[in-house]
A and B are shown apart, each in its own frame.
Chain A
Amino acid sequence: MEISLFEVTGPVMVGPSSSHTAGAARLALVAREIAGAFDHVSFGLHGSFAKTYRGHGTDKALVAGVLGLSPQDERLRHSFELAKERGVTFDFYEAELDGAHENTVSMTFVKRGGEEITIVASSLGGGRIRISRIGDYPAEITAEAPTLVVVQRDQRGMVSEISRILSAHGINIGMMRLTRTARGEVALCVLETDSALEPAMVQEIARVPGVLSARAICV
């Protein structure tokens, strides 16, 4: 049997819905880790998220997630007030996303200075999620294992340098996926590892020439 007992009895979460509340909070939490610091988030709700978000507190869950609250934090229900305290603003709109899963949201993080990054994510049920787009890049991040997201110049030797660093720290790579918009420009590298990365390792990778950013997701 490959289904864990804790997938049946669990997750521990704030109700009422594992897909519309817990999953929404979790995907927003992961998106926050990828996006970095921001002042404002625009949430574009698609499908069932757009139709039923109020009754399930999907809006509160999304805001809680981008503020860094876990899906089992009962402060989730007060996330709008919490956002105000922290000076984070947000808005919601209905989005039509072609071919997207029923429970999908497009999150545009606006940074100080106006720079933007849009992350698209879906809640798949039972609290499981998938990040399907980061900016211009298609992605496939479930965040079930510790994940490293690297934006890098598309040049020779980048992948081997990253894996060399991880290997030197005794980190085993479970999965690696590289996507790019065009040859020789910028590529997105997503790695899943068997154990979590220390902040120092992430910083070491971020300092590699050609790496534009490196972020670890462990939620």
Chain B
Amino acid sequence: MYQNFAEIERVCAERGISPDRLFLENEMRLTGRGEEEILRKMEERLSVMETAAQRALEHPQSAGLIRGTARRQFLYSAGETLCGRLINRAMARAYSSSEVNASMGRICAAPTAGACGVLPAVLLTLMEERSIPRAEVVRALITASGFGAVVMKNATVAGAEGGCQAECGVAAAMAAAAAVQLAGGTLEGMLSAFSHALSNCMGLICDPVAGLVQVPCAQRNASQAVNALLSADEALAGQMFPIPADQVVEAMRRVGRQLPPELRETAEGGVAATPAGKEIAAQMGLGAR
């Protein structure tokens, strides 16, 4: 039925349906499950996201290097800030999921465990700020997942293959498309927001200090949540990205292959390879690898 964004656009236009409807029908065909069951299952995933995005706002998790990051950002968001409450709350929620993940708590990978904070941060913050009904957020999650599937199919979402652009970057691109849907935008807008977000972080490397999914992963979750929001705003403002989404995905894939292994999750480059990064690793007994 479709393998890329061009085909999604064509089928949606021909049939006059929204992308979440197309993705839902594809899922029904693929799994033999009914619509209600799929929606229920997706809502369960949303619930897991909500718990993880909320938990560390009040209770810092035993997450070594990033313990307390969510709470700090959340408390700050209530006062006077530069970017306002929405942005700061989105960041706090991204930190929360990251803390829960790092402390062996339950999360929903989206598209990976390391990037699990981005999509919930964006969706849940918009849901709160705009009082969006839960069923609409589930639909947006289906759109985000359908967009992510295209990347999994035609490129990669593994940090070891494509760097952080493939994990937090793709999460941001998925979230940007979902945010446009929640704001009532068009498929064209969703695709443009997706492309803005992925190109904003093209080449972003994966450089986990001490090999742990903590620093700079939690910070990247927070900043990519912001990337998703501003990319959605660009698309909603009518700033259409001039490169088609399929070509942006292909560019991301190529850039990932061009990254040397040191910059793909091996903890041998980037901030992981700084004196301070190595010092942290040594202190934790995890050594420079």
- Once the chains are docked, how many angstroms separate the CA of A2 from the CA of B30? 7
Count the A residues whose beta carbon is within 8 Å of the partner chain — how many?
34
B-contacting 9-mer, from A12-20, A28-36, A148-156, A185-193: A12-20
Whether a CB of chain B sits under 8 angstroms from the CB of A60 is yes
Residue with the greatest number of chain B CB neighbours at <10 A, chosen from A11, A15, A54, A127: A15
The answer to whether B111 touches A16, judged by C-beta atoms less than 8 angstroms apart, is no
The answer to whether A16 touches B27, judged by C-beta atoms less than 8 angstroms apart, is no
CB neighbours (8 Å) of A11 from chain B are 108-109
How many A-B residue pairs have C-beta atoms within 8 angstroms? Tell me: 133
Whether a CB of chain B sits under 8 angstroms from the CB of A168 is no
Closest residue to A125 on the B side, CB-wise?
B158
- Once the chains are docked, how many angstroms separate the CA of A118 from the CA of B204? 41
The answer to whether A5 touches B113, judged by C-beta atoms less than 8 angstroms apart, is no
The answer to whether A5 touches B142, judged by C-beta atoms less than 8 angstroms apart, is yes
CB neighbours (8 Å) of A160 from chain B are none
Q: From B26, B157, B174, B214, give the contact of A1 (CB < 8 A).
A: B26
B150-200 at interface with A (beta carbon < 8 Å)? 150, 152-153, 157-158, 160, 174
Q: From A3, A12, A60, A76, give the contact of B107 (CB < 8 A).
A: A12
Whether a CB of chain A sits under 8 angstroms from the CB of B144 is yes
B21-39 at interface with A (beta carbon < 8 Å)? 23, 26-27, 30-31, 38
A interface footprint on B71-95 (CB within 8 Å = 1, 0 otherwise) = 0000000000000000000000000
Count the B residues whose beta carbon is within 8 Å of the partner chain — how many?
54
Whether a CB of chain B sits under 8 angstroms from the CB of A167 is no
- Once the chains are docked, how many angstroms separate the CA of A76 from the CA of B153? 31
A interface footprint on B39-50 (CB within 8 Å = 1, 0 otherwise) = 001101100100
Closest residue to B267 on the A side, CB-wise?
A52
Q: Do A18 and B112 contact each other (CB < 8 Å), given the known contacts A12-B106, A55-B210?
A: yes
Which A-B residue pairs are the 10 nearest by beta carbons? A15-B101, A8-B148, A5-B145, A16-B213, A77-B104, A3-B149, A8-B145, A9-B145, A18-B113, A55-B212
A residues neighboring B (CB under 8 Å): 1-18, 21-22, 51-52, 54-57, 60, 72, 74, 76-77, 125-127
| 25 A-B residue pairings within 8 Å (CB atoms) | A2-B30, A4-B30, A4-B31, A8-B111, A8-B144, A8-B174, A9-B42, A9-B45, A9-B141, A9-B145, A10-B110, A12-B44, A12-B45, A13-B106, A14-B106, A15-B105, A16-B102, A18-B112, A55-B210, A56-B212, A56-B213, A74-B106, A125-B158, A126-B112, A127-B109
